[in-house]
Amino acid sequence: MRFQQLLPWAAALTGCVVAQSQAGVDPLDRPGNDLYVKDLSNCTGYKVTKHWKTRSGFYADLALAGPACNVYGIDLPKLKLEVEYQTDERLHVKILDTNNTVYQVPDSVFPRPGFGQWCSPKNSKLKFDFKPDPFSFTVSRTDTGEVLFDTTGTKLVFENQYLYLKTHLPQNPHLYGLGEHSDSFMLNTTNYTRTIYTRDAYGTPQGQNLYGAHPIYFDHRQDGTHGVFLLNSNGMDIYIDNEGGQFLEYNIIGGVFDFYFIAGPSPQDVARQYAEIVQPPLMVPYWGLGFHQCRYGYQDVYEVAAVTANYSVHDIPLETIWTDIDYMDRRRIFTLDPERFPPELVKDLVDTLHARDQHYIVMVDPAVYYSEPNPALDAGLKYDAFMKELNGTHYQGVVWAGPSYFPDWFHPNAQEYWTEQFLNFFDGVNGPDIDALWIDMNEPANFYNRPYPGNNTTPEEFAEANDNPPEPPAVRDGPDAPIPGFPDSLQPNFASGQTNEKRAVVTVERRARSQSHRQLGAGRWRSAVRHWPRDPKAGWQHGRKSGSGCGPHECRGLPNRELIRPPYMIQNGAGPTLADNTADTDIVQSGGYVQYDTHSLYGAMMSTHSHNAMRARRPDDRALVITRSTFAGSGKDVSHWLGDNISDWLSYRLSISQILQFASLYQIPVVGPDVCGFGGNVTETLCARWATLGSFYTFFRNHAEIFANPQEFYRWPIVAEAARNGIAIRYQLLDYIYTAIYKQTQTGTPSLNPLFFNYPFDQNTYGIDLQFFYGPGILVSPVTEENSTSVSYYLPDDIFYEWGTGKPVRGHGEYVSAEVDVTHITVHYKGGLVYPQRIESANTTTALRQKGFNIVIAPGLDGSAHGELYLDDGLSQVQDKVSEIDFSYVDGVFEMKGSFEYDPGVGIERITILGVGAKPEVAAEDAEVEYDEENQKLVLHVDVPLTRKSSIKIA
């Protein structure tokens, strides 16, 4: 049903933004079917009226080719086209209004690539061509002429609230991306819609828009891969179908067409080139790759301590314990519950964790409770940092704490406000001295929706009726049983004075670090990737003063738009309007930006502000921030967990597609779902399988909702064993994946890879999303069917080796079956690589870093292998010393080259060579040798330092 109380279509494009739903709207139950019933037959498109070339680009003026169709708004009569060859691998094509009024993503949120960059068209791998009347364009490969993007025969629509553009595709294309979504990794291409508009999406439903916005797709073809990125934060439906020929079309409710075409030609090349557009991701602390435990519903500080201790009792490594909103006073951010999480006991908890080399993380939401004075409210009012209605009053919503205000991240005081809260609260006295941060509900989520069909209540009445906040759990004066390893203050009977000492807590002083600003670790490997030279004197192409071309008060958005239920309504899974389950989309934020345009940036902007606030707390340390909502480029500030999934086998299987999206496509390498599922009760078998699969997520956390049964790994003997097995492999490989993540931060090379990234010419791999490569070469093939003890997995035409035994397995481009116990997972080494591993696992990553190395050599079909190892202190934002070590194994000689400035305090204790058909005469002196004839594995016990070059003749 269309929204009726709207401004007339014929309104002139002048005036101010007008709120639309002062008195509510007619009841609406779904977004409608505008996508499927649209009639663009009367749209004539545009024609080129003038065009000219420069040394590195092409520019044109466009005008309507005929009468305006005004199908979902008002056609803009004139447009301009900008085509820029920025590098030989990147082509920028932009279609926009002539006076910079239409909204564009602000440069402050998304800094544009291309400053000082230009390329002659004759040197580019991509070529732009156009037809003048009606205007259409193609992007093709220069060397082969293959057309990659083709709008020929279609009509461009550019209205004040609707943009349409359609490209032809080859039949049965292999497309990936356009997230965030929980669909198959390779996208369906028949009657398939990808809606991009961030929202709170409990259960992560398939076929709907989820928490993040990433309008990038990879198009993989037999002759090469290319990428298409649309820089646009407005809501959009991207529709893919083959009726009348294969195509992909954009249906967007605002903004401009701001395309970046990237040439590849390999999938990993596209990933690296995309990283140059969105900026490479940030590096995380070493400890952040350990195992994390959380639950929504931990009763008090005693339960958090008991859970931590129980992991130790059951010999399951636990790096970090988390607390959800339970630690807050009535769910108000930047507060502690004085009865269940009193500050002195929280301090004892955190000090004890730190003394045990463990870590502590809590959640912070954006919404600020406003009905009573509290620090976050008082400071926000002082800084004038909250979003406001058009009449100047603060916008009111309802979230967990009840009636709430929302920070306006565009406000110039927002960062100072947010940082001040972190410094004042997370100081170890007023609140916990947290080691990292979790941010949630930042789409932003809002329970009190406008429009209000049949709901004329106030936020206060709504919150009370819906128990926001609910009654807290009972108060205890101590735990029910002793908690081993924790001080008397966290033991039974402490409050009644029946203990012998008050608070025997070991405190850990944070070591001082060098004040040097020399950023190491961005040297050898980064410089090995060719970067297009920059000429700062050249500035931005076409004489622009900024990357977007927008001046200080430009590109804020057209006036007189329908901002709650626009004329073209996207397929929003949250409901029939843009404002369902979120902040009102007619709010005008600081600087004149409207939530209609910037909604999908809210979580990304909170991420940036939170990253900066955490850096202010610990300026020397890398900031680990885990967020729910993301936008293109968020990886430069944060990592991501996949939101509120379900404890079922479908969520378990789909998690592989989801982690691959973020790590291999969107440049957010540290990512994972809630292991064992968030919603509902997990079964023992599923949790056991998930514990082993989760050991190969780059972010590994067990988390459940308040109404679910407890699912900590130690709750079941089988799950505990599976967790010990999985974590043991994970920790042995921790430096291997740490190195892969580091390389992604330097070059954009993905740290997780779908099979086709490693085998781009094997068509059988294109649709596989139940297996993946952890790092460059660890092939993970989990059991994915309920109650099954077997797995069928694909092995490309290559040599692989079994994890554990090292036995060679020759792949022939076909599926192989294996029996797999419920406590194990199928893992293979890909041949041709050298894998740096720790000799054994440990209970914490601090202890792990004291273990020596086992260098596993998995020769390829040609008998050689290569690999890398990155070493640093694991924590510092600015490293004084690092090592970037390259390994090679050629003709029986193992060599180490590179930089060796960082001394890890341990060396190589073992070199393991796989695929050795017969015991050789080992040339290495002073090496104790073991040979496993059955599995063709040779082991050398050595003492090789990691502080200098080395060459060892093995055979």
| CA 415 to chain centroid | 22
Q: Which of 243, 276, 309 is the last residue of a domain?
A: 276
Retrieve residue 269's tokens: 């090349």
Q: Which of 9-23, 374-388, 498-512, 571-585 has the lowest mean pLDDT?
A: 9-23
pLDDT value of residue 451: 56
- pLDDT at 874 exceeding the cut of 90: yes
Peptide bond into 420 cis (omega under 30): no
User: Which residue range forms the structural domain that includes residue 937?
Assistant: 756-951
pLDDT in the model for residue 15: 35
| Four-CA torsion 27, 30, 234, 59, nearest 10 degrees | -110
Q: Give the separation between CA 156 and CA 162, rounded to whole angstroms.
A: 11
| Residue reference for tokens 């909250």 | 386
Q: Is residue 568 part of a domain?
A: no
Do 708 and 831 lie in one domain? The reply is: no
Token look-up 């040197």 returns 123
Whether residue 119 lies inside any domain: the answer is yes
pLDDT at 18 over 50: no
Choice among 2-6, 326-330, 518-522, 635-639 with the minimum mean pLDDT: 2-6
Same domain, 348 and 271: no
The Cα 101–Cα 553 span in angstroms is: 9
d(CA 208, CA 206): 6
Inter-helix orientation angle 734-747/717-732, to 10°: 60
Instruction: Give CA 334 to chain center in angstroms.
Output: 25
The band of 9, judged by pLDDT with boundaries at 50, 70 and 90, is very low
Torsion, CA 176, CA 178, CA 179, CA 183, rounded to 10: -50
Backbone phi, psi, residue 141, to 5°: -80, 135
Q: Which residue has the tokens 């894998």?
A: 835
Question: Each residue of 205-217: pLDDT tens digit?
Answer: 999 999 999 999 9
Confidence tier at 20 by pLDDT (50, 70, 90): very low
SS3 state at 344: helix
Average pLDDT of span 732-761: 98
Q: What is the pLDDT of residue 219?
A: 98
CATH of the domain at 810: 2.60.40.1180
Domain co-membership, 380 together with 303 = yes
Of 744, 746, 819, which Cα lies nearest the Cα of 774?
744
pLDDT band at 143 (very low <50, low <70, confident <90, very high): very high
Do 270 and 293 sit in the same domain of this protein? no
* Same domain, residue pair 246 and 301: no
Structural domain includes residue 911: yes
Q: Which residue has the higher pLDDT, 116 or 10?
A: 116
In terms of domains, do 318 and 438 share one?
yes
Q: Is the predicted pLDDT of residue 433 greater than 90, yes or no?
A: yes
Strands of 937-944's sheet in order across = 928-932, 937-944, 908-914, 853-858, 833-838, 865-871, 883-890, 893-900, 950-953
Stated pTM of the model: 0.95
Q: Is residue 566 part of a domain?
A: no
Q: Specify the amino acid at residue 954.
A: I
Residue among 703, 636, 702 nearest 670 (CA): 636
Average pLDDT over residues 254-267: 98
Out of 672, 703, 735, pick the residue that ends a domain.
Answer: 735
What's the pLDDT at 544?
85
pLDDT value for 25: 42
Helix (H) or strand (E) holding 91, with range, is: strand 90-97
Give residue 30's pLDDT.
75
As a whole number, mean pLDDT of residues 899-905 equals: 98
For the record, the structure tokens of 484 come out as: 């081993």
Q: Is residue 36 in some structural domain? A: no
- Segment 453-470 shows an average pLDDT of 84
Judgement on whether residues 802 and 940 belong to the same structural domain of the protein: yes
Please say if the pLDDT value at position 1 is more than 50: no
Mean pLDDT of 903-924: 92
Terminal CA-CA length for the chain:
76
Which stretch of DSSP H or E encloses residue 254?
A: none
On whether both 266 and 325 belong to a single domain, the answer is: no
CA-CA-CA-CA torsion sign (209, 210, 215, 218): negative
| 292 within domain boundaries | yes
Indicate whether 347 and 393 sit together in one domain. yes
From residue 483, how far is each of 45, 227, 301, 486, 491 by CA, in Å?
72, 54, 12, 6, 6
- Predicted confidence at residue 171, as pLDDT, reads 96
Query: pLDDT category, 61, cuts 50, 70, 90?
Result: very high
- CA-based torsion, 168, 171, 176, 180: positive or negative: positive
Sequential DSSP letters for 494-547? TTTT-SS-S------PPPP--------SSSHHHHTS------GGG-SGGG-SSS
**Residue where a domain stops, chosen among 276, 303, 328:** 276
The residue type found at 808 is P
pLDDT tops 70 at residue 508: no
Average pLDDT over residues 113-124: 93
Spatial distance between the Cα atoms of 717 and 715, rounded to a whole number of angstroms: 7
Q: 224-230 and 908-914: which strand pairing?
A: unpaired
| Number of domains forming the structure of the chain | 3
Are 807 and 884 contained in the same domain? yes
Nearest to 651 by CA among 691, 679, 628: 679
Residues 699 and 769 reside in one and the same domain:
no
% of the chain surpassing 90 pLDDT:
88
Active-site positions? Answer: 440, 443, 644
Bridge partners (DSSP) listed for residue 57: 54, 84
**Residues in contact with 108: Cβ distance below 8 Å, sequence separation at least 6, in sequence order:** none
- Is residue 496 within 8 Å of 342, Cβ to Cβ? no
Three-state secondary structure readout of 144-203: CCCEEEECCCCCCEEECCCEEEEEECCCCCEEEEEECCCCCCECCCCCEEEEECCCCCCC
Residue 574 resides in a domain: no
What pLDDT is recorded for position 545?
87
Contact 674, 645 (CB under 8 A): yes
pLDDT at 158 (0 to 100): 98
* pLDDT recorded at residue 807: 98
| CATH number, residue 340 | 3.20.20.80
Report the pLDDT averaged over residues 409-433. Answer: 98
φ, ψ of residue 321 in degrees (nearest 5):
-110, 140
For the stretch 761-808, pLDDT in tens is 999 999 999 999 999 999 999 999 999 999 999 999 999 999 999 999
So what's the pLDDT on residue 497? 45
Reply yes or no on whether the pLDDT at 504 is more than 60: no
Q: Answer yes or no: do 729 and 780 share one domain.
A: no
Q: How buried is 905 (Cβ within 10 angstroms: 0-12 exposed, 13-18 middle, 19+ buried)? A: exposed
CA distance 37 to 33: 6
Side-chain-side CA neighbours of residue 787 (13 Å) = 0
Whether residue 25 is contained in a domain is answered as: no
**What pLDDT digit, counting tens, does each position of 529-569 carry?**
555 556 667 788 888 889 999 999 999 999 999 999 999 99
- Which CATH number belongs to the domain containing residue 223 in this structure? 2.60.40.1760
